[in-house]
Amino acid sequence: MNHKTAERTRIDKWLWAARFFKTRSLAAQAVESGKVLLNGERVKPAKALHVGDALRIRTPVYEYTVHVMALSDQRGSATIAALLYAETPESIAAREAARASRQPRDPASFIRGRPTKRDRRQLEQFRDEPEGG
């Protein structure tokens, strides 16, 4: 974690450093479009973030509700990024429910007309898998 950021960090930089978005520009777009709420309110990407702030983050796949535990404007490893925030238990439960509702698709559902050689291999592999996993 950077020593310069002990007091505050831009919200778009923090979201990028915490690995919610792949690029800082994607993080800034999400903040600008209202997909990120700071303490329940829309803010601009340059808004200063402080330890203890609550964030609601909607990514393309999941929605997170987190509390800022530490500040950083440098992107590090995923283990370091996980130390920057604490996700609420409700958010974790909702994310797990969303993950469970996204069922794996049957490869046969994508086939149109006669199966190709690749399609047949996928079907065969799907049929040969044991029931448990």
Please compute the mean of the pLDDT values over residues 17-39 and round it to a whole number. Answer: 94
Contacts of 68 (CB under 8 A, 6+ apart): 14, 49, 50, 51, 52, 53, 54, 55, 84, 85
Look at 2-6, 51-55, 71-75, 105-109 and tell me which has the smallest mean pLDDT: 2-6
| 59 and 95 housed in the same domain | yes
Identify the domain containing residue 71 by its residue range. Answer: 3-101
Q: What is the pLDDT of residue 4?
A: 47
Q: How far is residue 79 from each of residues 2, 7, 35, 68, measured CA to CA in Å?
A: 16, 22, 24, 15
Question: 70 and 31 in one domain?
Answer: yes
Judge if 20 and 34 occupy the same domain.
yes
53 and 9 belong to one structural domain: yes
Q: Are residues 84 and 114 in the same domain?
A: no
**What percent of the chain is predicted at pLDDT more than 70?**
86
What is the band of 43 on the pLDDT scale with cuts at 50, 70, 90?
very high
Q: Are residues 70 and 112 in the same domain?
A: no
Give pLDDT, residue 59: 87
pLDDT at 5 over 60: no
Give the residue with greater pLDDT, 65 vs 122: 65
Q: Are residues 83 and 125 in the same domain?
A: no
One domain for residues 76 and 121: no
Shared domain check, 110 and 84: no
Q: Is 109 found in the same domain as 93?
A: no
CA angle 63, 20, 58 (to 5 degrees): 25
Residues 11, 45 contacting (CB under 8 angstroms) = yes
